[in-house]
Amino acid sequence: MTSEPRASTPEMRLKRLHERLGGIAYGGDYNPEQWPREVWEEDVRLMKEAGVNLVTLAVFSWSRLETADGIYDFGWLDQIMGLLHENGVGVDLATPDAVPPAWLVAQHPDILPVLADGTTFGFGSRQHFDVSHPAYRAKSLAMAEKMGERYAGHPALCMWHVNNEYGPVSYGPHADRAFREWLQQKYSSLDDLNTAWSTDVWGQVYSDWAQVNAPAQPRTWSNPTRRLDYHRFTSDSMLAHYKAERDILRRHTPDLPIVTNFMRFYKNNDYWAWAAEEDAAALDIYPDPREEDAHVAAALNFDLMRSLRKGQPWLVMEQATAAVSQWSVNVSKLPGKMRLGSYQAIAQGADSILFFQWRQAKGGTERFHSGMVNHAGPNTRVFREVCELGRELKELGGITGTRSAAKVAVVFDWDCWWALELGNSPRSDLNYTQEVLRLYRPFFDANIPVDFVNTASDLSQYSLVVLPASYLLSDDAVQRFENYVAGGGRLVASYLSGIVDPDNTIRLGGYPGALRNVLGAWSEEMHPLAGEGEEVKISTADGGTASANYWTEHLHTEKADVLASYASGRLAGSPAVTRNTFGKGTAVYLSARVDGTFLEDLLAAERAAAGIRPELDAPLGVQVRRRTGNGRSYLLVLNHNDAPARVDVKAGGADRLTGNAVRGTVELAAHGVLVIEEPTESNPAETAR
């Protein structure tokens, strides 16, 4: 990471932001350039009515800020920033390089990214750039310099937002060049590259660096390690561009937070590496209202954001008030669901609630994407809910900066994701994020807080660690897991873990090769189940029954105890689930995709043995999380059910949303929320205001 002045750390910058805003950041993307000047006055009046304290400006404004090469026009931006400041609204100012203007593309047509199939991604959308193109880089950095110089001292400026949803991958000539340079830094010689990529397979040996290029789409299959390295390269190259802009802005404004926005389950960028270079993780989150359990996948993403910077509060940068416009059927959120989703993010560590966008566009691609002010204007259900949420959030200023604690860690690692889904494996339809979600959900349903870690993380603070399909493991990671278990930790690993090394080369000697020692078991052959809906029976050591589908393995034990065996199919009689004592700890191996009930019971037994208990005993669908710090403790209770639910909140405290004292058994309305400030020794909170 870039060294920073001791007086300015990410935590300090975020603290100053929230002090300046008076608590939780509330607002969203604002695109005044889409509207005539007379609308601006109405906008700021409605923002004050809604309790908005922060808006994101200029995300898509490059063509308005630089109207031709070197011809800048900041007049309109000066005016709107002044108007916002006069009305008490802060600005998260974006660098607009997610949308290179038409004049720049006309000058340099090869800025447009080349897709894997060799076609060009044309102008007329967004993120139409090859991040390796020298003209794109030069012009975008020049814009960052201009904006930094001009607005460093502006009283409205609260933070910076670099680019937007980084992600375009190019396979064109500029990417070829940059990829070769990246490889030359990683590998000391072509011989090392040929060894790492196993190029003797299919005769792909390189004899000159000039022969190496981006892995564009082949006629059939292509080298998996080459493709894995290209994933790594594209993430690194986009991150390098972010850092270059960040460093320019940091020089002008050393005390302001700088972020870019991440996306839900986004594969192209390794967010562990990215988050280390940002002042906060920031997420764009759009759960599909058609999915009854969309809040569970959202919860996983929220916990991941909180974990990326080791528990530091994170930012919701975008969500929708009602409907979005990217799906085939765009259902609007039911009344109360926008509020509930916002509090869910806060419960899981968010210190901002921002939307895309403030005013719903009347034209363009996202004209049917809802806003805080929709097409019908402010006299609507949505705007009334926006205003009510704004009023409530003003009562929660003390929650900013508080954190959550977890004793369970789930591994989420981009190298594993990339390597696992490259194809040429026994199952090319395997979805890494769904494997992670399967092993995360039982903890969510049981109200057990979860941190996410990657394969390089320190595990010492956790009592239970879960590895979902952790396909690629380095020797250092293997040693870290062995040391963790030997020291008394409990490990649960699923199938397709520990299969390959960082060069995507199979570890020999039986699967899962890297973890064979700690698991005390090994598989001689993988047996994915072929038929749609095909399953096999499983018998447990205590006489119970279960089932498995999708995946099985021919497993042998060395030291491990058998918890369950296959009871039907070609592997009948062979172990299916094992537990091994290793040093002072234990390691469980799931060689099959077991049914949900068996998985829930197994994980419940493991967490109980580790002494891990929920914050409260609550009905299914009621989420409970605690945030503590700064002498305060907040218990958030959220009812995701469509019917009321009764919850015993024990000693309780003061509900910050109503001012009422709550204790004992309470009834939460459908989609209802409690934010209880609990008495602490340093802050004996009043039971009511």
Those residues whose C-beta lies under 8 Å from the C-beta of residue 230, and which sit 6 or more positions away, are 179, 214, 215
- The strand pair at 665-668 and 314-318 is best described as unpaired
CA distance 543 to 600: 17
CA distance 128 to 110: 10
Task: Give the phi and the psi of residue 327 in degrees, each rounded to 5.
Answer: -100, 170
> Is 328 strand, coil or helix?
coil
Q: Nearest 5°: CA angle at 127, between 126 and 129?
A: 125
CB-based contact 329:619 (threshold 8 Å): no
165 is a catalytic site residue: yes
Strand partners, 68: 71
Element (H, E) at 262: strand 262-263
CA distance 118 to 526: 36
318 is a catalytic site residue: yes
Query: Beta-carbon neighbour count of residue 536 at 10 Å?
Result: 20
- Residue 222 vs residues 216, 217, 219, 425, 529: alpha-carbon distances, Å: 9, 8, 9, 13, 25
Peptide bond into 357 cis (omega under 30): yes
CB-based contact 101:62 (threshold 8 Å): yes
> Is 393 strand, coil or helix?
helix
CB-based contact 344:299 (threshold 8 Å): yes
Task: Give the phi and the psi of residue 83 in degrees, each rounded to 5.
Answer: -65, -40
Per-residue three-class SS string for 8-40: CCHHHHHHHHHHHHCCCEEEEEECHHHCCHHHH
Query: Which residue out of 66, 318, 421, 677 is catalytically annotated?
Result: 318
Query: Which residue out of 165, 395, 435, 606 is catalytically annotated?
Result: 165
Give which of 217, 220, 190 is closest to 206, Cα–Cα: 190
Residues 624/628/631/633 CA torsion (nearest 10 deg)? 0
Tokens 């049981």 locate to 446
| Burial class of residue 145, CB neighbours in 10 A (0-12, 13-18, 19+) | middle
Half-sphere exposure of 235 (CA within 13 A, CB side): 21
What does the buried/exposed string (b/e) look like for 221-249 if buried means 16 or more CB atoms within 10 Å of the residue's CB?
Answer: ebbbbbbbbbbbbbbbbbbebbbebbebb
DSSP state of 526: E
Q: Which residues are catalytic?
A: 165, 318
